[in-house]
């Protein structure tokens, strides 16, 4: 099956001269949940805006459902739903009218039953006759999602959907995303909440300074780049790591009360049995131990900061 979204050699240089995207190539399969991760200013919104026809590319080609987003704009755009990063819904219109209109704009026939379902799924049904300007920020965001879904798009873009929203909306949003995926909708999201990408996404792309530096199946990425750590709480604090343990990459933490051993998550167990045996022989006791696997966030921060020098780590979390 051809990809539902195909991006080839896409470059964007803004009028200011800033090169926001550099030769992006990406193919997204139908039904995927793809998470695009990257620090602020990396080019995520620019990429989404080009695909949705809001920003024009400097070079390259984008096909949505086989339609060129420039020469076949209407057909391409009708396949796409966009929940933009910025709220733009300070209108006098009611929720019902806005969502119904949005459906009509894409040439879909009226279907009050479908609109009702979307509003109910997003807990907006009770608010359907309210004017949008009277709603809270969280409710407005729900309206933006309902608008994006009004014309039954096959590809849904969620640009920072959970930035600054309450827990309830985040939970509802992920329930919705799972439901859409079951119906074969392709979802592309950007997020700063990496734990969400970790939980939701099938594939992950990392973008930094306009370059797509990595695209990988999530499980593979976690395996390939993940590190595991074994931490031992020592019975007696140590001043230094004894020479007898020098063959393991160990570090002392908590003023010598903890011994930490890092190893690749992808490989075997490291060499834990031999380490514990040797510690026993040297008379080093421990009262507790735990292991920890690096999260996608750890991986992401180290990837981005590798490219940007050490300042990048902080930037990635902003
Ligand atoms: N309309 C614009 N004109 C000039 N530069 C822009 C414009 N929009 C975004 N940029 C710049 O392009 C870069 C990428 O921005 P953006 O796509 O919004 O990144 P992200 O969504 O990853 O935070 C940033 O340096 C930003 O300042
Ligand atoms: Mg953005």
Distance 108 CA to ligand 1 centre (A): 33
More confident residue, 14 or 198: 14
Question: Is residue 146 located within the same domain as residue 179?
Answer: yes
Banded model confidence at residue 199, pLDDT cuts 50, 70, 90: confident
Tell whether 315 is covered by a domain: no
> Mean pLDDT, to the nearest integer, of 132-140?
90
Question: Is residue 160 located within the same domain as residue 212?
Answer: yes
Tell whether 166 is covered by a domain: yes
Tell whether 300 is covered by a domain: no
Q: Which ligand is nearest to the CA of 44?
A: 1
Distance 79 CA to ligand 1 centre (A): 25
Banded model confidence at residue 312, pLDDT cuts 50, 70, 90: very low
Give the pLDDT confidence of 19-64 residue by residue, as tens digits.
Answer: 999 999 999 999 999 999 888 899 999 999 999 999 999 999 999 9
Can you give the CATH number for the domain in which 236 is found? 3.30.70
Distance 104 CA to ligand 1 centre (A): 31
Give the pLDDT confidence of 253-266 residue by residue, as tens digits.
Answer: 999 999 999 887 66
Tell whether 306 is covered by a domain: no
Question: Is residue 241 located within the same domain as residue 121?
Answer: no
Single residue among 204, 222, 240 that ends a domain in this structure:
222
- Residue ID of nearest Cα to ligand 1 atom 25: 41
Question: Is residue 145 located within the same domain as residue 186?
Answer: yes
Which structural domain range is residue 209 located in? Answer: 5-222
Instruction: Report whether pLDDT(267) > 70.
Output: no
Q: Which long-range contacts (CB under 8 A, 24 or more apart) does 131-134 make?
A: 131/91, 131/92, 131/93, 131/94, 132/89, 132/90, 132/91, 132/92, 132/93, 132/94, 132/95, 132/98, 133/89, 133/90, 133/91, 133/92
Question: Is residue 199 located within the same domain as residue 268?
Answer: no
Single residue among 222, 254, 285 that ends a domain in this structure:
222
Instruction: Report whether pLDDT(310) > 80.
Output: no
Distance 42 CA to ligand 1 centre (A): 8
Q: Which residues line ligand 1 (CB under 6 A)?
A: 14, 16, 18, 20, 38, 40-46
Question: Is residue 202 located within the same domain as residue 245?
Answer: no
Q: Which two tokens stand for residue 199?
A: 């939980």
- pLDDT value, residue 313: 36
Can you give the CATH number for the domain in which 129 is found? 3.40.50.300
Instruction: Report whether pLDDT(206) > 50.
Output: yes
> Mean pLDDT, to the nearest integer, of 76-94?
87
Distance 33 CA to ligand 1 centre (A): 24
Question: Is residue 242 located within the same domain as residue 187?
Answer: no
> Mean pLDDT, to the nearest integer, of 216-245?
87
Question: Is residue 21 located within the same domain as residue 167?
Answer: yes
- pLDDT value, residue 145: 92
Which ligand 1 atom minimizes the distance to the CA of 49?
17
- Residue ID of nearest Cα to ligand 1 atom 18: 45
- pLDDT value, residue 85: 87
Tell whether 209 is covered by a domain: yes
Tell whether 298 is covered by a domain: no
Number of domains in the chain: 2
Banded model confidence at residue 119, pLDDT cuts 50, 70, 90: very high
Tell whether 48 is covered by a domain: yes
Tell whether 13 is covered by a domain: yes
Instruction: Report whether pLDDT(89) > 90.
Output: no
């Amino acid at each position: 099956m051809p990809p539902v979204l195909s991006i080839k050699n896409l470059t964007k240089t803004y009028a200011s001269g800033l090169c926001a995207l550099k030769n992006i190539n990406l193919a997204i399969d139908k039904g995927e949940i793809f998470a695009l991760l990257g620090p602020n200013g990396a080019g995520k919104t620019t990429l989404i805006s080009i695909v949705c026809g809001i920003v024009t590319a400097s070079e390259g080609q984008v096909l949505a459902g086989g339609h060129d987003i420039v020469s076949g704009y209407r057909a391409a755009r009708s396949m796409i739903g966009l929940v933009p990063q910025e709220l733009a819904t300070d209108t006098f219109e009611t929720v019902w009218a806005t969502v119904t209109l949005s459906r009509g704009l894409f040439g879909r026939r009226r279907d009050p039953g479908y609109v009702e379902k979307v509003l109910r799924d997003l807990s907006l049904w009770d608010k359907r006759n309210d004017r949008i300007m009277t709603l809270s920020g969280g409710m407005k965001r729900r309206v933006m999602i309902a608008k994006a879904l009004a014309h039954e798009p096959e590809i849904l873009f969620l640009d920072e959907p959970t930035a600054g929203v309450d827990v309830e909306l985040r939970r509802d949003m992920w329930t919705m995303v799972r439901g859409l995926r079951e119906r074969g909708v392709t979802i592309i999201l950007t997020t700063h909440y990496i734990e969400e990408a970790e939980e939701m996404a099938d594939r992950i792309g990392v973008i930094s300074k306009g370059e797509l530096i990595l695209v990988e199946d999530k499980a593979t990425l976690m395996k390939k780049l993940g590190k595991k750590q074994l931490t031992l709480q020592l019975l007696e604090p140590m001043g230094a790591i004894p020479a007898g343990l020098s063959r393991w990459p160990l570090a002392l933490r908590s003023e010598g009360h903890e011994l930490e051993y890092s190893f690749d998550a992808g490989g075997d167990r490291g060499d834990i049995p031999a380490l514990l045996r040797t510690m026993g022989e040297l008379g080093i006791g421990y009262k507790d131990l735990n292991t920890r696997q690096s999260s996608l966030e750890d991986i992401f921060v180290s990837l981005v900061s590798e490219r940007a020098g050490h300042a990048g780590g902080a930037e990635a979390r902003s």
